[in-house]
Chains A and B, each alone.
Chain A
């Protein structure tokens, strides 16, 4: 008696994901890994580019670094949540601190992860965030 069918994984395939980081090499590697798992992934080198993409594309989940020049991840999170509250944001940082972790969560992040992270673990987090984004949408539709 196995549970082969997994609606969460299937839902993950429909997620539109945006990766935001200031390191192009990191973006490229992660994008490759996620595309291999058939997750529909876009990338943005920094917050400004990310905000431009959000104006044009429907995104469900964002995976974002904290320390970025110009606009840091926590500020960027605030901007995203103000304008697109249904999007779920997973923070992925190389410089963890309890303070920034809690600030991120208070700012509405779905999760706060620390680099280095196994791709599988990140994918699971993206799936959960995607499912939450889907519920956000359904709830918003029901309320409207």
Chain B
């Protein structure tokens, strides 16, 4: 402040406070300042690009991970930090408050996006009957539900134990697996299926190869031995996943994690590690990504249950997914439930009343009379158990069950039904059935309509080839196809029932699905079809009448932890409060978001660069007079490499042919494209004003060549030009940097002043603004001052803009004098546009 006051006093007394520099000093200073400016512009661009990426990801419905948020937030933070450092250096230490504001915002951002691995503490093992919902962090969702179900009267569960999340954490920590896994996935592009598969395999084999700590291994065998001891018969285990967040209403993870069946003592360790490693299977990774789960928060617990020697198994939905009130679904087949959930077995279906005595409403006809008799009896047991479980957990349940040789019912899983079921057949569908019908399925996996080209998946390799928005056709609806639902617009399978895992996931993602559509794999790849899953029909071509009734697809990420983190992070990143540089609140202390800081830094850096010519002057000899026939003095200062090699630096004059600054040459071309018509014929009042101004500043009338004529300076390098010009009574400045790097390129124009009264001066600024806006400049106006900018466009585009500015600099001289005369504004606008069009026509 003192320096500034002193400066003003000196200035008032007529002493110049601007330092005079030698050409070498000037060049070094320019290079340094310009280097900072360029770094700042590049950083600004990087930060804004990363902001746009985050905004787009949030709003275009794509799936994104915490790693995506973290990477972009880091790019933004690092680049803004860099912008601040550059600006502070350019401004000789001013704007220090920015660092404080940045540190504050960045700290808040860090709290949102940096999740450490959840610290699960406690026992390594839990007997299954001791697991409850209260111990969900240790036992995982599936085993906590099952253990608690086992404590209810009338519910039987298999004996078993849980290897807790605490044990998983111990195993991972002992082998330093967390940092290794994070490192691999940080470098994975989740949109690249091939890359994801490869990285997923890498991580899974890392886990399988890691040795189980000896104390954990001993205790695991001990648990198995105790189970055998209690059962008094040979025991084989089902080793099942029970991850935190799995089996919830929002996300079933149906069939996405690994299960090992018939596991004996010898295979126990391998099976345990296989289930753990399936946390990172590509299908689980993609599901988590799509549903917005935080990777680091996924802790796998493992359930080890004694296998049931099942004669019949199945799935029960305690509220029918057909949507029929008062009914429940029971799907079943002989043996284990595996064939039902992976859609490979033919499945029978009973629709049963939800209230005692649980009468059968409807049943599939295929059951043998013996099976049907048995099922009539068992269906009542299953329905009774289902209602006990629904009443206890307070929401309709998706239940897996088995009946052993003794006819005893075992519950193997009970989780909330994830998504409401299908709609009844509708009229539109019925009308369309006869027109262009290609195929009719039997089961609605997920209701809805969609259209797209057919893509039949026959092998794992096809997974990598599926185009976006395809109608995915498979033989069996295996859970391994789950990642494809992200790209598919609809699903068709030759087999399967509503109870299959893939159907469950299709419902979660809102992807219309038809199952049990025999002959579907004979559809031709690429053929456009319309799927009416509600009515289980596939039509040839695109049936608009059906698609009009299509509901918008769910965004599976809605309400997820990752989406919430993104929204919270963007609150600190993207709102822009500092919009008006002339406002008194355009201050570093008013920056509330990272976007505000970039805006502030960018604006102030431009000011700092523009002040270069004002803050530093040069000693005599630094500038070369340009040889030209205009009655004006043009001087050129070479800041870096703007003159041809071999130019005689001792010479006081330079020819235009000796200048190689491309931006300057473009401006020069625009200046010389048309001869100046001379000052306009002003009104008497206008002339009076001109004379008044001239008497006050006689040396600045450019129309009169004299020793007093103002010198106009080009500061140049090969890619840079800054032209300060005072023509008549206005001041103009053109600045440009046009290099091979698009991010650095810009053209700026500033214009102020005039001899006429303010109304007329403003009129001229309006005219300039109209012309420049026509040529894609961004305009800011304040009274008789105007700033125009354009950046990051092609070189040809920007060179043309410089020609336009060169033209306007010459041809707007003194026209403010006539800006109040009727028709003048229009006359000049038409003339300028006509001239410019002709001037740049060749380039076009």
Contacts and interface: CB of A to CB of B under 8 A. Distances in A.
Contacts of A8: 739-741
Given A98-B77, A102-B77, A7 B641 contact: yes
A111 B739 contact: no
Contacts of A67: 179, 183
A124 B114 contact: no
Contact of B70 (A5, A94, A96, A132): A96
B718 A98 contact: no
A95 B799 contact: no
B74 A3 contact: no
B606 interface: no
B28 interface: yes
B327 interface: no
Among A7, A106, A124: residue with most chain B CB under 10 A = A7
A76 B739 CA distance: 34
B31 interface: yes
Contacts of B31: 135, 138
B182 interface: yes
Nearest to A5: B718
Interface string B9-34: 00000000000000000001001100
B47 interface: no
Contacts of A96: 70-71, 74-75, 186
A128 B42 contact: yes
A94 B39 CA distance: 23
A3 B74 CA distance: 34
A2 B740 CA distance: 9
B718 A7 contact: yes
Interface stretch (B105-113, B152-160, B257-265, B558-566): B105-113
A8 B78 CA distance: 23
B741 A98 contact: no
B186 A98 contact: no
A36 interface: no
B598 interface: no
A88 B73 CA distance: 23
Interface in B662-679: 662, 665-666
Contacts of B110: 98-99
Contacts of A102: 77-78, 81, 106
A53 B751 CA distance: 54
B718 A114 contact: no
A6 B31 CA distance: 15
Interface in A85-139: 94-99, 101-102, 104-106, 111-112, 114-116, 124, 128, 131-132, 135, 138-139
Contacts of B182: 95
Contact of B39 (A101, A132, A138): A132
Nearest to B112: A98
A94 B182 CA distance: 9
B176 to A, nearest CB: 11
B183 A112 contact: no
A66 B75 CA distance: 15
Given A7-B640, A111-B78, A98 B187 contact: no
Interface string B69-95: 011011101100110010000000000
A68 to B, nearest CB: 11
Contacts of A98: 70, 73-74, 77, 106, 109-110, 113-114
B32 A6 contact: no
Contact of A99 (B75, B114, B718): B114
A70 to B, nearest CB: 15
B799 A1 contact: yes
A132 B89 CA distance: 14
A131 B82 CA distance: 16
A9 interface: yes
Nearest to A112: B78
B719 interface: yes
Contacts of A105: 78, 81-82, 85
A8 B737 CA distance: 13
Contacts of B709: none
B186 A94 contact: yes
Contacts of A131: 35
Interface string A27-51: 0000000000000000000000000
A104 B71 CA distance: 15
Contacts of B208: none
Contacts of B113: 98
B179 A1 contact: no
Contacts of B42: 128
A115 to B, nearest CB: 5
A97 B114 contact: yes
B739 A6 contact: yes
B38 A1 contact: no
A101 B38 contact: no
A3 B738 contact: yes
B187 A97 contact: no
Interface in B168-188: 179, 182-183, 186-187
Nearest to B73: A98
B309 interface: no
B114 A101 contact: no
A115 B741 contact: no
Contact of B74 (A2, A7, A101, A142): A101
Contacts of A9: 740
B716 to A, nearest CB: 13
Contacts of B371: none
A7 B639 CA distance: 13
B84 to A, nearest CB: 10
Nearest to B109: A98
Nearest to B802: A1
A3 B795 contact: yes
Contacts of B38: 128
B214 to A, nearest CB: 25
A131 B28 CA distance: 13
Contacts of A115: 186-187
Interface in B108-153: 109-110, 113-114
Among B110, B187, B718: residue with most chain A CB under 10 A = B187
A67 B662 CA distance: 45
A114 B31 CA distance: 29
Nearest to B42: A128
B189 interface: yes
Nearest to A114: B71
A99 B111 CA distance: 10
Interface string A1-27: 111011111000000000000000000
Nearest to A131: B35
B240 to A, nearest CB: 32
Contacts of A1: 662, 665-666, 795-796, 799
A46 to B, nearest CB: 16
Contacts of A112: 74, 78
B486 to A, nearest CB: 21
A131 B38 CA distance: 11
Which 6 residue pairs across A and B have the least CB separation, nearest first?
Answer: A96-B74, A101-B78, A112-B78, A101-B74, A105-B81, A94-B187
Interface of B: 28, 31-32, 35, 38-39, 42, 70-71, 73-75, 77-78, 81-82, 85, 106, 109-110, 113-114, 179, 182-183, 186-187, 189, 640-641, 662, 665-666, 718-719, 738-741, 795-796, 799
Interface of A: 1-3, 5-9, 67, 94-99, 101-102, 104-106, 111-112, 114-116, 124, 128, 131-132, 135, 138-139, 142
Given A99-B110, A139-B28, 14 more contacts: A3-B719, A3-B739, A7-B640, A94-B183, A94-B186, A95-B182, A96-B70, A98-B109, A101-B81, A104-B78, A114-B71, A114-B186, A135-B35, A142-B28
27 contacts: A1-B662, A1-B795, A1-B799, A3-B718, A3-B719, A6-B739, A7-B641, A8-B739, A9-B740, A67-B183, A95-B183, A96-B71, A96-B74, A96-B75, A97-B70, A98-B74, A98-B77, A98-B109, A98-B113, A102-B106, A105-B85, A114-B74, A115-B186, A115-B187, A135-B31, A135-B35, A138-B28
